[in-house]
Amino acid sequence: MHHCASLRPSRVKMTSVGNHSILQEVDLHSKTNNEEHHTSELPGDQLIVRRGQSFKMTVKVTKPFKPDLHSLLLTATTGGAHGEYSSEDQGTLSRFGIPGYPDRSPTAKAIWTVQLHGSSSLTSLILLITPPTDTPIGKYTLTGSLWDEEIQLATLVVLFNPWFSGDSVFMSDELERKEYVMNEQGVIYGGSTDYISGMNWDFGHFEDDMVDICLMILDKNLNYTNNPSKDLASRGSPIYIGRVVSAMINNFDDPGVLQGNWSDSFEGGVSPSHWSGSHDILSKWIKNDYHPVKFGQCWVFAGVMCSVMRLLGIPTRVISNFQSAHDTDANLTIDVYHPLEGAEYIESDDSIWNFHVWVESWMTRPDLNTHGKYDGWQVLDPTPQEVSDGIYQCGPASVIAIHDGEINLPYDIPFVFAEVNADCVDWMVKSDGTKFSMFSDTKRIGKKISTKAVGSNERVNITHLYKHEEGSEEERAVFKYALDKDEESEEEEENNEGDAIPPPLLVLHFEEVSKPQYGEDVQLKLVLSSDSRVDRQMSVRISVEGMKYNGILVLVILTETKEETLRPGKELSIPILIPFQTYYKHMHVCDSLKVTSMVTDMRHPDKPSHAEDNVLLQDLPVHVSVTGYVRQYQEASATVSFMNTTTVAMTGMTLALSGSGVMKEEMNLRLPDLSPNNRIRVTVPFVPYRAGEKTLVADIHSSIFKDFKGNCTFKVNRF
């Protein structure tokens, strides 16, 4: 087990039997080393370094040391409490020294080096020690041997090094390193294609216990359980680390961090929408003796994984894909069924999520043997959707390979390719159970793929990194190329092409009358047009259903059927009203309102037309403020205010406050019931314990809605 709290302090005086130790004192220079290795944000005086970069250690001895006459032999080991899983040939044990190490294995890997600094004296040895760029990351014990005396010099942690050009996670741009490695505050995008909303997420990867937690995640993975030596030796590869972490963030196959839940009940835990950051989740996992924290959904899994990867030194960002396909049968096609009146609803094995969230991590891909062509951003998805190599893990999948349709390359590229670029086939289901293909849509899937900008909270659309422009010749060529590589999909493609018919001559779409806002009636209109030269008698069926963000329909909220006449050369506008009193009771289990229209020409009842709109209600605002001069270790206060602008009383209200560097753990308060058109204001004291720019997030929950959030960013001045 890793316990970084037990790492040796920066300066240690050595003692031995009879008090005659030759090694008198060791100074790890933790503060200076950590600053140079970009780990000074981590608390305490523990030594945390990055591979490929030297760190300084001063060893004071009681006898004069002459390098041409004497030898200082050093050993760095990782693996097990006593190094029982370490090996030179696997790179988890390294013997090195001054002037060298005569008994080193000829097949040794990941060999550390040491130099004697020129300002050393005969009794004060200033050592410059360098873990190589292929060093497996983790906790190491460093021992020294001099004049037949052997003693432990230090325990330290070695991380990946995106600042060093020889490391497989090297990122050349300093602003990008600052964003994708050092930034504890992020934005995760959700909602729907037309209603994208940003949620502040506190990665919190520099909190006190995060080194312990992240190393424990590695030690709890199945590979370590089955073969510790092999697992430890593999930890020098970010490819391997990414795959392991994607499995360990969910709990399907191992003692993972989070349990997923997409049902209506979150008994025994909290709704995934409650969370505002990673550290509360990760610390609960440790405190609960590695039992999964309840509950998570895709953005929570991704946010937690991003924290772990950034702590380990792998540049990582969170990605949101709107209209995201879940292709269960790997044929690159999503089937959607629409029942006519009287027909039974058919649930497809495939689904289209309003949005789905994963992470990208930056690394080289030498395993692909393509001379660096597919280096760079790699998709990793910790949400448990489909198994890969027998367990729930996903990636790394090269974004460039996804863009090029190279679905035969590892790992899991067909699944991710389908998420952003599958074709969608709409089927109409008749009352007798038969179905026919209405339309094959090549543009519905993979919209507005988004991530937070470098250095700001702006949203950046990166869809072009995943695919060519929708409908372009290049995009269709890549899709066909991917199909040709997938033997199971070739036959399916032929069948779909034979069944599909062109879009109908009747054109229909939804328009907003006003921006949908929680607490207000939703007003839309359905607009129809046609190139017909005669009047067309239309039967229009409107249905409104509560839907989860992953495309699962929860319940029917209202239905309405009416007959209308479409005049030649004119648009027909049909108003649609969804009263607040009709929908509000259902929004604690739903994420959006799916509005569907089925329009049938009375003369051609066998060719209905279909349109749908996914309405996301804008949350009521939660206002958070922190005023005055805020100083580290001194009490400050935050004020949270919220107004009930609806026509119903809000009951069962709670307030949760969290923020890394501001509160050690989430603060939870019960709030009184709130009558219509009334405001509540709460002032909460807190003592910030880390300096710099910090963000406090407030979450308000009630029995009739899920988790409205607000936040405030402010400066904490150094003590």
Q: Provide the token pair at 298.
A: 């895709």
The b/e string for 197-222 (b: 16+ C-beta within 10 A; e otherwise) is: bbbbbbbbbbbbbbbbbbbbbbbbbb
- Cβ atoms 103, 109 nearer than 8 A: no
CA 77 to mean position of chain CA atoms: 32
Q: How many CB atoms lie within 10 A of CB 347?
A: 9
Helix (H) or strand (E) holding 451: strand 447-452
- Sheet hosting strand 149-159, strand order edge to edge: 48-50, 149-159, 138-146, 72-77, 93-98
- Cβ atoms 396, 368 nearer than 8 A: no
Helix (H) or strand (E) holding 133: none
CA distance 333 to 495: 11
CA 171 to mean position of chain CA atoms: 19
CA distance 392 to 383: 8
The C-alpha R_g of the chain, in whole angstroms, comes to: 30
CA distance 85 to 656: 44
CA distance 329 to 321: 20
> CA distances (Å), 4 to each of 31, 212, 305, 457, 515, in order?
16, 6, 21, 33, 51
Q: How far apart are the first and last CA of the chain?
A: 34
- Cβ atoms 242, 396 nearer than 8 A: yes
Type of residue at 547:
M
Of 620, 539, 621, 546, whose CA–CA distance to 578 is shortest?
546
Q: Active-site positions?
A: 298, 356, 381
CA distance 609 to 598: 6
Helix (H) or strand (E) holding 76: strand 72-77
Q: Provide the token pair at 571.
A: 């648009």
Residue 421: phi and psi, rounded to 5, are -145, 15
SS3 content of the chain, % helix, strand, coil (to 5): 20, 40, 40
| DSSP single-letter state for residue 147 | T
Place of tokens 């964003």: 179
Helix (H, G, I), strand (E, B) or coil at 348: coil
CA distance 219 to 562: 62
Alpha-helix runs per DSSP H in 267-393: 279-287, 298-312
| DSSP single-letter state for residue 178 | I
| DSSP single-letter state for residue 5 | G
CA distance 262 to 109: 46
Cα 536–Cα 539–Cα 545 angle in degrees, nearest 5: 140
Q: Provide the token pair at 161.
A: 């090094």
Residues in CB range of 80: below 8 A, 6 or more apart: 86, 228
